[in-house]
Amino acid sequence: MSEKWNTDNFTEWKAEDFPIGAVCVDGGNSVEYITGGWRAERPVWTQENCKNCMLCWVVCPDSSILTADGKMTGIDYDHCKGCGVCVKECKFGALELVLEADAKEAE
Amino acid sequence: MSELVEIRWHARAGQGAVTAAKLVAETALSQGRYMQAMPEYGPERTGAPLKAYTRVCDTPIEVHNNITNPQIVVVLDETLLDLENVTEGMAQDGTVILNTRMTPAEAREKLGVSDKVTVATVDASGIAMATIHRNIPNTPIVAALSKVTGVIPYDEFVQHLKTTFGKKFSQQIIDANLESVKRAYEEVQQ
Amino acid sequence: MAERAEQKIVSATGNMMVTEAFRQADPDVVCAYPITPQTTIVEGFAKCVANGQVHTEFVTVESEHSSMSACIGSAQAGARTFTATSSQGLAYMYEELPIAAGMRLPIVMANANRAISAPINIHCDHSDVMGARDTGWLLFFAEDAQEAYDNTMIAIRTAEDKDVQLPVMTTLDGFITTHAMERAELMNDEAAKEFLGERTPLFPLLDTENPIAAGMFADQDSYFELHKALRDAVTASKPVIKRIGDEWAELSGRPFDFVDAWGCDDADYIIVVLGSAAGNARHQARLLREKGVKAGVARIRVFRPFPYEELVAALHGAKAVAVLDRSENFGGEYGPVGLEVATALYNAKETIPLKNYMFGLGGHDVTLEQMEQVYEDLEKLAAGTIDGSIEYLGNR
């Protein structure tokens, strides 16, 4: 939770407790909102097959393809919703969609 | 003149009636009085008949409607007499100032008004053509209005004209306007 | 306490006076689209920009929908932001009006009050602004060119006040006030600028040290509470408007009241009205007082927030009250002003007989004869020989 803005008791806020204009006073905090739990399937990355073409990075709607120095380093499972667009677009068989339940079991 | 004075202007769009209505109002303002000047609001179409209004008073003016019972009616185009009743609603002892070559007697007959009404005529268009070289009879007719009714003093009007036109026009145009004003002041008949 | 400041007597139309207020406020951004009879405001202001009299980013947009959208972005960025519109233009902005209010953005907009189509009509009534009545904007109504200026000055300070942070619409009657040349007083630039100050934005989007997100989604868990917050903010703006209005009155020498109550102290018969028609009502009331009829006029200058207490105080003791409405409420009995007055009186347990009139729609001329008829009706209403049902005043 942000230091600037404690929203723990949000559902109990009265009219006067909201910031003026319903502004979110701590911008960029969507990273704190874990959407990985929405996933029914997950993409699994096979590094050996990956050519770092970055097409998955371009199409990912949740900015969940992790990179460093222009190369893919992994997948942000805290925010990946398992839509599978990256798997669909991958031309090199480096990404595969598996059932979340199976993946969890394997872990 | 302490009472509210209401003037209704009849003209065709492009003859400068709105400017005239404002010239009278602003001259009154320069004397420290209160005033209103407004056109009869609507689409602007050159040549179409229009009305404009001026109110002048020593005290603040509250009313904001069109003028339906003017003391003074000014007609900048005599062909309008065949189109509309310019004296409609006018005070019984009102004044009509008409831009025409007619004599006051001829104009009175044409207007069909009683003896109580003052009728004054001036060939403002002729004067404008001779001086400004365009048929914009508004400044000369204001001079005639000033002389006949005294609603604004002539000297104040000339001074105001010099000041406002001085900001916009060349000396040649200002001189031509001043000449037209002087002639109308001298030539208006009643 | 401020001293009376030096002012200049000018001949000006209402639109010219609004332009002067805008010029003195030197806004950061003006986004506007021209529409009769507002056009000369933005034309005049564009001239100020071209002449270097202001430091404004003047954004010429392709529609009013865009102008209000641009204003919202600009105001959220932190800029002092103004616009102006009228009639169909205001209607076209409707989608954005509640957004500006809900996001608590202090945009100041001049509206030249004009009829709404159909039929097409460019003249004065209050249909446009009353259509935007429930959007969370504060609404001021000017009686004449002078007040168009005064209200705009007060509107700018009010909108940007740290305790208000709401958009304000400063309205003037189309043509009657926007285009009539009148005598008015203009504050000297230095005193005007000192009065207006500068905007201190609450959550400027351009403050990269403190990033925010604006224009948020609010679900069933918060939308309802946030609407209550907006209602409270509009209501709470009242004492601030009063404080700023009084400050301007001190500086200008022209009184400020939510309700301009003329002759209401001892009046038997009172007309309640907004805008330029009040002068005609007052003129008729003066004539009637010379004949011994105790006539009064209560002119509402601030319509949102609505001054219930001030209005009840003005009407208290009257034998009958007429409310003149310049916008329709088809299928309902009373117009928007009539409804407010009825609410005010009912909640104050006042039982003064009330009658509502539609008048002046589409620039229908407002005459002294109409006002005379209303006062005559009020005597009959007090005597119980006519009822309070709505009437079209001066209709053929």
Domain boundaries, chain A: 1-33, 39-106
Kindly state the helix (H) or strand (E) to which residue C287 belongs, with its residue range.
helix C277-290
Residue with tokens 């309902």: C332
Contact C79, C52 (CB under 8 A): no
Give the burial class of C90: count Cβ atoms within 10 A of its Cβ; 0-12 exposed, 13-18 middle, 19 or more buried.
buried
Chains A and B physically touch (3 or more Cβ atom pairs below 8 Å) = no
Q: What is the pLDDT of residue C92?
A: 98
Could you give the domains of chain C? Answer: 7-252 (3.40.50.970), 259-392 (3.40.50.920)
Q: For residues C176 and C252, give the distance between their C-alpha atoms in angstroms, rounded to a whole number.
A: 24
DSSP letters spanning chain A: --SS---TTGGG--GGGSPGGG-BSSTTGGGGS--GGG-SEEEEE-GGG-----HHHHH-TT--EEEETTEEEEE-TTT-----HHHHH-SSS-EEEEEHHHHHHH-
**Other CB atoms within 10 Å distance of the CB of residue C246:** 15
pLDDT tops 80 at residue B44: no
In b/e form, how buried is each residue of C26-46, taking b as 16+ CB within 10 angstroms? Answer: bbbbbbbbbbbbbbbbbebbb
Number of domains in chain B: 1
pLDDT tops 60 at residue A2: no
**8 Å CB contact of C211 and A28:** yes
Contact B41, B51 (CB under 8 A): no
Per-residue pLDDT tens over the stretch B155-176: 999 999 999 888 889 999 999 9
Please give, rounded to a whole number of angstroms, the shortest distance from the CA of A22 to a CA of chain C. 7
Q: What is the pLDDT of residue A106?
A: 86
For A39-106, CATH number?
A: 3.30.70.20
Q: Residue B1 — pLDDT band, cuts 50, 70, 90?
A: very low
- B41 contact C CB<8A: yes
Beta strand segments in B91-134, E: 95-99, 118-122
Residue ranges of chain C with per-residue pLDDT less than 50: none
Residue among A14, A21, A27 minimizing CB distance to C225: A14
Beta strand segments in chain B, E: 5-12, 34-39, 49-57, 72-75, 95-99, 118-122
Q: What is the pLDDT of residue A1?
A: 44
Is the preceding peptide bond at C119 cis, omega within 30 degrees of 0?
yes
A-chain residues near C212 (CB < 8 A): 23-27
Subunits with 3+ C-beta pairs closer than 8 A to A: C
Q: Residue A6 — pLDDT band, cuts 50, 70, 90?
A: confident
Higher pLDDT, B46 or C149: C149
Residues spanned by the domain of B50? 5-187
- B62 contact C CB<8A: yes
- C219 contact A CB<8A: no
pLDDT tops 70 at residue B40: yes
Q: Which residue of B has its CA nearest to C179?
A: B38
**8 Å CB contact of C103 and A22:** yes
Q: What is the pLDDT of residue B43?
A: 67
**8 Å CB contact of C222 and A18:** yes
pLDDT average, residue stretch A42-47: 97
pLDDT average, residue stretch A63-90: 97
Indicate the angle between helix axes B17-30 and B138-149, nearest 10 degrees.
50
The CA angle B125-B127-B128, to the nearest 5 degrees, is 60
Mutation for testing the B interface, residue in C8, C9, C10, C11 having most B CBs under 10 Å: C11
Q: Residue A29 — pLDDT band, cuts 50, 70, 90?
A: confident
Per-residue pLDDT tens over the stretch C354-388: 999 999 999 999 999 999 999 999 999 999 999 99
Angstrom CA distances, B112 to B50, B96, C262, stand at 22, 12, 43
pLDDT average, residue stretch B20-43: 92
Q: What is the pLDDT of residue A28?
A: 82
DSSP letter at C49 equals H
Q: What is the pLDDT of residue C285?
A: 98
Residue among A10, A11, A18 minimizing CB distance to C229: A18
Please give, rounded to a whole number of angstroms, the shortest distance from the CA of C200 to a CA of chain B. 39
The CA angle A9-A10-A14, to the nearest 5 degrees, is 100
**8 Å CB contact of A22 and C222:** yes
Nearest to C299 by CA among C246, C259, C255: C259
CATH code of the domain covering residue B69: 3.40.920.10
Stated pTM of the model: 0.94
